[in-house]
Structure 1
Amino acid sequence: MKRTLSFILAFASVPSSLEAQDWVVTPDQARCLLKNKQAYLESAADVVVITIGTCPETDIFASAMDGKANMGAAPDIHTGEDRSASGYDDVVVYKASDLKCLTSNMIRMDDEKALLPKTVPCKN
């Protein structure tokens, strides 16, 4: 029984789809991120945190102040395996060096969703 439970728990942690390797956003959000990539990079942070629903706003604190984002509800921010019921990620996070390399041809997109790679291949 103990072995079976361990196997089930280990198997349950394996991603069931490729989406576990990608940020899932709407096509409009993906286009907005790409269009405003340089503005996000201008934050000069090593890690760029993007509240994708407020794109093109690059200041997450300004978004909180104008009501676009509820920064007091951090437990309600969903990503990856814990996505919201909508199936989309609320936040996208990249190392600045990876975000610089992100291009439209790396994004898989259909009418309903866009898959942004979490790991961006860069040739530095």
Structure 2
Amino acid sequence: MQGYNVLMVYSKDMDRLLMCKRLKDPYKGLSNLVGGKIENGESGLDAAYRELYEETNISREHITLHHLMDFKYYFQNCYVEVYAGRLKEDVEISGDENELYWSDLNRDFFDMTLFAGEGNIGHMIEQVKMSKNRFLAD
């Protein structure tokens, strides 16, 4: 079963979420979270930090990632690990895989015409809201 990760990167004040505009399929043209493939022999957390750095230039020193939840898709033979964290300081983001941008949080993340993931991004944001104090303690 192939593993993937998605990374919820919040600004220091937790008032914005790092998103990317997908430049290729799947979800071409839609907004998504950053993330990628977990390589064989790589822990999920190590893969999360590696993908975060590769796609955004944000390193381990800038953020503490928490393993928030997993999704397992039996028909697609894959699983997705979800990690979330809050930046310790403002960081200049850069990456060439997708167009990166900061989104405010008053959007309808369940709108599948704008956001990838069949509504999962909205669900994940609601889960973070329920645990916000945990992230503010970082």
TM-score range, shorter-chain basis? under 0.3
CA radius of gyration, larger in: 1
Relative to its length, the structure with more helix (as a share) is 1
Report which of the two has the higher share of strand. 2
TM-score of the two chains, using structure 1 as the length reference:
0.26
